[in-house]
Chains A and B, each alone.
Chain A
Amino acid sequence: MADTTQEDAVFRPKPSLPPPPNTVGVIGWLRKNLFGGPFDTILTLLGGALIAYVAYSLYEYAIANAVWEADTYRGCLDHVLPNGEKVGHEGACWAGVATWFDSYIYGRYPDTERWRVNLGAIVLAVWLAPFWFPKVKAKILVGMSAVLTFPFLAAHLFLGGEPGLFLQAMVAIALTAFATVWLNVLASYMGYQSLRVALLRLSGFENKGDHLHKYVLLAACAVGFVIAFIYQSTWTLESVPTLNWGGLFLTLVISGIGISSALPSGIILALGRRSKMPVIRVFCTAFIELFRSVPLITILFMAVTMMPLFLPEAINPDKLVLVIVAVCIFAAAYMAEIVRGGLQAINKGQYEAAQAMGLSYWKMMTLIIMPQALKLMIPNIVGSFIGLLKDTTLVSIIGLYDILLMAKASGQDSKWLGMHTEPFLFTAAMFFVICFCMSKYSQHLERTIGGGYGRR
């Protein structure tokens, strides 16, 4: 410390310097991490050899010796290369997977009606697309309208036959909601702030006073509903009973409904378990503990065999409906505990600050606590969804032909007897792709809206 005179009394901190540059790039990394010493080098070589061996075996099985075209499994096994080598035995029979591909995806849904399944998927994708459009406000409404009304539209589309009046009305509402979402997008991009503003402006009612606005909007809704109702009543769709639904289509239907109902019901159960009111608390705790302590397979069996005994004669629900209810209950019980964990992680001070401001219980939960709790729990929530998707393969045990049972069944067909490995590999790959996408989306959510250390 030098002597300080009067002039040096002013504090001038040293300038900030950049950190020292890294040592020598790729070669340096390799030298340090893979070939650091004699032991490391031996490990690297052994590891490399193992990887190379496995990779080459996989390549041989899946690509080099694989059979891409054949009519039967026997044909696959007897496949002969141009040079006379018989390789069928050592290669994958992708021909079988190709032949059965449509069944893996659609199950036993009639060939001519498969366009309905495709249409349903496309409609859902298009419905949810506005989530990614920045100009669209009120994205929550897009999601909610899809979750609440699309199931009815999909049910009618996939089932066909003669829908009752209730289903027809709900389908009309769903069509109106879908049209509203996209008209809103159109309005947003055409310069109006939203469909509501566009309607009011175009009908000339914008400046005529707030109390008149709701009549204009109601009228628009009513007109839309009537048009949609008339439109859907012109549809004639061939009836396809749920018995014939199968494959990836069935898996996605069951887990899709399970996933979309798990979060809301889990939230309600979690709040109920933390409630001060004893009846609600006891009921929610009992519900959660009961359905968490029992394997999903037993819940499915109970639902399919015992529920019809308890229900009155008049109600004869479809097996698929019972299965979906069972899966939803199971998913809700698990989700409740995840949400409860998130609620417990919130600082008590947040509750106090909200209460001190005079916010009611539900406003406090919706505006302050739930947004923070759910964002903290994103990894757990999406993890639960991924688990649910895979758990739905259990329905194969009660005879619903989901993708796993179709895979098994393809190996028991007379022409393809004995082909077991390839369908399972395909199913595994299918699940991997879907689950990996969900996992990636979870990471994206954590980065953008995550409530953990990212924000702090």
Chain B
Amino acid sequence: MSLETHDSEQEHIASAISDEVVIELNKVNKWYGEFHVLKDIDLTVYKGERIVICGPSGSGKSTLIRCINRLEEHQQGDILVNGVTMDTNLKNIDAIRRDVGMVFQSFNLFPHLTVLENCTLAPIWVKNTPKAEAEQVAMQLLERVKIPEQASKYPGQLSGGQQQRVAIARSLAMNPTIMLFDEPTSALDPEMISEVLDVMVGLAESGMTMLVVTHEMGFAKRVADRVIFMDQGEIVEQNTPDEFFTNPKSDRTKLFLSQILAH
């Protein structure tokens, strides 16, 4: 479905990659107990790059991006974010988390706070921004995701697409340099997927470094600078979208593409 709804006629958006390395993963290995979930992952992400990670379920793609902001701990290897090493030092982890925003599949908005309070919470309590300034920034972001009129409503009163857009605004409120998306549209019904994808395309066009785990191949074709295919904890193939979709090198990738592009 994804290929037809977002016209392939749309141009791939302009690239904004710089030379600066923002994320570096060196020989990262992770185990859940005995289960080896990430195997020797090597990945370098440059500033302004937009990466789409795809693969079958259980391939470790969510685990990979969750390791980047320490929602999961890796047992072996190095992870560097904006030059800061990821280890058990809490100060490093906090510094990294302030620079990295994350959008979840199940939105994870705070139900006891209004939309505006959701967006101002982190700036006020982590960065000590004065309340008025935080609210101003939050309203600007809500306008950017096109739902400023919902500011005083509670998350339970919004539709799924609106909630996910609030989640994006909430992550942007901390002014991150990197945004991680963990299957942001997988829990939405088809009519709402495009409103969220439009926001993400707008974000990409503004030059944000993005790592997106998704099944939306149309989005990958339009936005991604690199598409990474993962299976069984390994990066099987990574390439530009053109090359990836037309000339997949590995058999596993060919099998995956044949399945996902079949509808």
Q: Which residues of A contact B (CB under 8 A)?
A: 347, 349-350, 352-353, 355-360, 363, 367-368, 371-372, 375, 451, 455-456
Contact = CB atoms under 8 A, between A and B. Distances in A.
A359 B71 contact: no
Given A360-B94, A455-B156, A352 B112 contact: no
Interface string B81-103: 00000000000001001101110
Given A347-B108, A357-B121, 13 more contacts: A353-B109, A353-B110, A356-B71, A356-B100, A356-B102, A357-B126, A357-B170, A359-B122, A359-B126, A367-B121, A367-B125, A451-B112, A456-B111
Nearest to A350: B108
A358 B111 contact: no
B256 interface: no
Contacts of A356: 69, 71, 97, 100-102, 171
Ordered nearest first, which 10 A-B pairs have the shortest CB separation?
A353-B108, A349-B108, A358-B97, A356-B102, A357-B122, A358-B98, A456-B156, A358-B126, A371-B112, A349-B106
A372 B155 CA distance: 14
Contact of B112 (A349, A357, A455): A455
A372 B113 CA distance: 10
Task: Decide if the interface of chain A is mainly helix, strand, loop or mixed.
Answer: helix
A350 B171 CA distance: 14
B51 to A, nearest CB: 18
B46 interface: no
A358 B94 contact: yes
B141 to A, nearest CB: 14
Contacts of A353: 102, 104, 108-110
Contacts of B126: 357-359, 363
B71 A355 contact: yes
Nearest to B69: A356
B102 A368 contact: no
16 contacts: A349-B108, A352-B71, A355-B97, A356-B97, A356-B102, A357-B97, A357-B121, A358-B97, A358-B126, A359-B125, A360-B94, A363-B125, A367-B121, A367-B125, A455-B111, A455-B154
A368 B111 CA distance: 9
B174 interface: yes
Contacts of B156: 455-456
B8 to A, nearest CB: 28
B187 to A, nearest CB: 11
A345 to B, nearest CB: 13
Contacts of A349: 104, 106, 108
A356 B98 CA distance: 8
A349 B69 CA distance: 14
Contacts of B101: 356
Nearest to B174: A357
A241 to B, nearest CB: 47
Nearest to A372: B112
B131 to A, nearest CB: 13
B112 to A, nearest CB: 5
Contacts of A359: 122, 125-126
Contacts of A357: 97, 121-122, 126, 170-171, 174
A91 to B, nearest CB: 55
Contacts of B112: 371-372, 375, 451, 455
B110 A368 contact: yes
A363 B125 CA distance: 8
A455 B171 CA distance: 24
B209 to A, nearest CB: 16
B201 to A, nearest CB: 22
A455 B109 CA distance: 14
- Name the residue in A350, A353, A363, A367 with the highest tally of chain B Cβ atoms < 10 Å from its Cβ: A353
Interface string B148-181: 0000001010000000000000110010000000
Nearest to B97: A358
Contacts of A367: 121, 125
Interface string B210-221: 000000000000
A356 B68 CA distance: 10
